[in-house]
Amino acid sequence: MARRVPEGPPPPPVVQRIRLRYAKRGRLRFSSHRDFARAFERALRRAEVPMAYSAGFSPHPKISYVGAAPTGVASEAEYLEIGLARAVDPAVLRAELDRVLPPGLDVDEAVLAGPGSLAERMVASSWRIELPGVDEVTARAALARFLDRDEVGVERLTKSGRRTLDVRSPVVSAAVLGAAEAPSGESRAILGLVVRQVTPTVRPDDVVAALRDVAGLAPTGPPVAVRLAQGPLDDDGAVGDPLAADRNQATTPP
């Protein structure tokens, strides 16, 4: 049987790539990656962004998502890259997309993509986790026991079935940063983490589960996690800005 060829001219080529940093805030932290993708594609249409499309019978806009945060987790550092069929001003594009996206899905920055892979820059994430009903002393003791271990296995259901993940090895650094007070007066220890992005990804709830297993830590409610940054690791173990190279290239004279 002869292979069918799509009718009509091929889609226009990509003439510009733009990298976006966006946030999931408030109630929108409960949106899944699929929910965000649908909302973002609607926003592209509403903002009349000149997207480049794939070829074939079912063309798709040229969008590359990088390291999406888990459902239920807020984030100040989500990234994606889009390919455009016509060059635009990144600042104007950012403002238009932010205008048509729902509040809580906020586009904070847009830069021209430089050379290299954005995904390869995503080495680690920085997290802030509030632990309801856990005081600082208890959190520090649990964290010390966790950090004293070379390996801590946590069972998780994955697409290929149940498997045990080593949660300890990817943790670059961890500390109790203090405590917050909920409106009810309940104490909430605040945990800061830097975690390498391995496969499968070690998530904040995996670390909380590990603290429970090694030290009996038992928050009274769901932990509240926010990704503060994701990107390369510097020599001090801090998470850097993955768009810095793109931004610097745009400001460097030829």
Reply yes or no on whether the pLDDT at 185 is more than 80: no
Note the pLDDT of residue 10. 74
Picking from 130, 126, 127, the residue whose alpha carbon sits closest to that of residue 223 is 130
In this prediction, residues 195-208 reach a mean pLDDT of 94
Q: What is the pLDDT of residues 110-137, one digit of tens each?
A: 999 999 999 999 999 999 999 999 999 9
SS3 call for 37: helix
Residue 3 has pLDDT above 70, yes or no: no
Q: What is the pLDDT of residue 57?
A: 74
Give the pLDDT score at 49. Answer: 97
Pair of tokens at residue 64: 């590359």
Q: Which domains does the chain have, with CATH numbers?
A: 16-120 (3.30.70.580), 124-231 (3.30.70)
11, 35, 191, 232: CA torsion to nearest 10? 0
Q: What share of the chain is helix, strand, coil (3-state, %, to 5)?
A: 25, 35, 40
Give 157's contacts (C-beta < 8 A, 6+ positions apart). none
Look-up: residue for tokens 């060829």?
5
pLDDT of residue 146: 98
Q: Encoding tokens for residue 1?
A: 């049987």
Mean confidence (pLDDT) of the chain: 92
Closest to 88 (Cα-Cα) out of 46, 37, 40, 51: 51
Handedness of CA 57, 63, 69, 75 (dihedral sign): negative
Whole-number Cα distances in Å, 38 to 51, 79, 101, 105, 110: 15, 16, 11, 12, 20
pLDDT value of residue 54: 87
Residue 253 has what pLDDT? 46
Mean pLDDT in residue range 74-78: 97
Residue 11 has pLDDT above 90, yes or no: no
The pLDDT, as a whole number, for residue 127 is 98
Contacts of 43 (CB under 8 A, 6+ apart): 97, 100, 101
Global pTM? 0.90
